[in-house]
Structure formats: structure tokens, C-alpha cells
Amino acid sequence: MAEYLRQEELSEVDKLKFLKAVEILSSAVRAQGNGNMNDYYPLTILTKKIEELILQESTESLTSSVRQQAMLAVVALSQVKPAFHETEKLGLASAGIYSVFSLPLITPSPDWKDTASLYLQTVQALDEMLQALVMEDMNPNMLMLQNFLEIVLPWLTLSEKVQEQTRALHTISRLLRFICKFPQLSHMMEFSMSGKLMGILCLFCMDPNQEVSPEASEALHYLFKILVLQRSKCYELGL
């Protein structure tokens, strides 16, 4: 793995080998219980390399599984010590979102089924990476969610491309659905953009496009669910 870290340019095969090595090492460190990735390779260096690999992927077409495997490597690293710094989380999230959202619309072609399958797997990997990065210890960090939403929302509100809007709404919906599973949320009181998010989602619920409005409605459903659950929690605690 050290050899891959030293090289600025890697072939696709070497990129995949490096990312697989990161996953294997992460599993080994995790199995130790009190293991630390920094005892083997500095997490900061691994994180920077993975972010670079994501950003090096073409946004003109999707023909490689490198960005997918890079995001899954981040998930693996999130399960070991030390934890990512906030700046590292934001850098990885920004890279993943840009790399996936910028892809062109998948159009019918001789190999479109393979491309569509690879795209769906890549989107799933992005969802899993963001879910892993939003966690703080055992609970979702709502301030980190807010930071991620600030990255995602311009793709929804400023873009004129339907595929970018639907991708943004999908990501928001999946993050909110994931957070609904947890009764305890860190920094919920500091989550200050619920009203803004609710207003944006309500507007897109009325969008005439039949791809946009259902995604917005689903995201709004999960946002309401989080707010109701947390209000009930505050009531129980007498807050």
C-alpha cells in the first residue's frame, strides 16, 4: 500500500488494488478491538489519497467502479480509530457528491444496462459513505448533517438539470431516512435549517416533473418524522 501512496498517477487496476487493501487493513484493525489505523498508515494520508481518487474520476461518463470502491473504503475507515476530522468528512462528502451528481443522464445504448447497474451501485456507495460520515460515536451528528445539506442543496435549488435535482433529493431523502432509525441525535438543538429545508422541499413537492416531486415528498416525510420524534423526546425529558 505504501507504494500506491507514493505514486501520483495510478492505473485503474492499481487504484482498485489500493482501495481493496484499505478495506482489508480496516477490517484487520477493527478486529483488534482497540486497534488504530495510525499504527499502520496515517489516516490523514489515506483520506487525502481516497479523496484524490474520487476527484480524478471522469464526470463525463461512468465506466469504472473506482469511485464506488473509494466510497466503500471510506465506510470501512469510518469503523476504525481514529475518527475522521470534520474537514476530512466535508472534503470526502464534497468529492463524492460532485463526482456522482455531475454524471450525465444515462441514455439508451448497447451497454446501457451495465452502465445503469454500475450507476445504481455507485449511488448506493455514496449513500453509505454519507451515512457513515454523519455518525459521531453511536449517534448521527445533526450539525454534520447540516453541513452535508449545505453541500447538496445548491444542486437542487440552483441546477436546471432534472437529473441533478433528483440526485440531490434522493441523497437528502436517504440521509433523513437513515437518521430516522436513531432515537438519540447529537446536536439536535443546533440544527437550525429545518425550516429552510422544509420550505425548499415543499416547493419541490409541487414541481410538475414526475421524477422530482415524488423524491421531494419522500424527503419531506422523513424530515417531518425526525422533527416529530425529537419533539416527543424533548417532551418526555421535560425540555
Check: CB of residue 26 under 8 Å from CB of residue 80. yes
* Domain ranges, residue 209: 140-239
**144 and 131 inside one domain:** no
pLDDT tens-digit series, residues 124-140? 999 999 999 999 989 99
* Res 236: pLDDT: 54
Task: Pull the grid cell for residue 4.
Answer: 500506491
The answer to whether residues 124 and 147 belong to one domain is no
What's the pTM value of the predicted model, to 2 decimals? 0.95
Q: Residue 84 has which C-alpha cell?
A: 475522521
Residues 175 and 131 in one domain: no
- Alpha-carbon distances, residue 13 vs 65, 74, 99, 121, 207 (angstroms): 10, 19, 19, 19, 43
Give pLDDT < 70 ranges for the chain.
107-112, 232-239
Q: Is 43 in the same domain as 154?
A: no
Residue 90: count other Cβ atoms within 10 Å of its Cβ.
17
What local confidence, expressed as pLDDT, does residue 62 receive? 92
Does one domain contain both 74 and 152? Answer: no
Is residue 84 left, alpha or beta, with left meaning phi > 0 and alpha meaning psi from -120 to 50?
beta
pLDDT of residue 115: 85
Which of 136, 156, 190 represents a domain boundary (last residue)? 136
Whether residues 229 and 112 share a domain: the answer is: no
For residues 127 and 146, state if they share a domain.
no
Does 154 lie in the same domain as 99? no
The pLDDT assigned to 24 comes to 96
User: Which residues face 139 on adjacent strands?
Assistant: 136
Among the candidates 105, 136, 167, a domain finishes at 136
The C-alpha atoms of residue 67 and residue 118 are separated, in whole angstroms, by 11
- Cα–Cα distances in angstroms (integers) from residue 116 to residues 54, 65, 104, 149, in the given order: 19, 12, 12, 26
Residue type for position 144? M
Query: What backbone phi and psi angles, to 5 degrees, belong to 173?
Result: -60, -45
- The number of domains in the chain is 2
d(CA 154, CA 19): 30
Q: Which residues are registered as beta bridge partners of 141?
A: 186
Per-residue model confidence (pLDDT) at position 232: 67
Q: In the prediction, which pLDDT does 110 show? A: 64
Judge contact between 193 and 172, C-beta under 8 A.
Answer: no
Residue 109 phi, psi (nearest 5): -160, 170
Residues 121 and 216 in one domain: no
Considering the domain architecture, whether residues 168 and 83 belong to the same structural domain is answered as no
Q: Which of 69, 101, 136 is the last residue of a domain?
A: 136
Residues 65, 179 within the same domain: no
Q: Are residues 206 and 124 in the same domain?
A: no
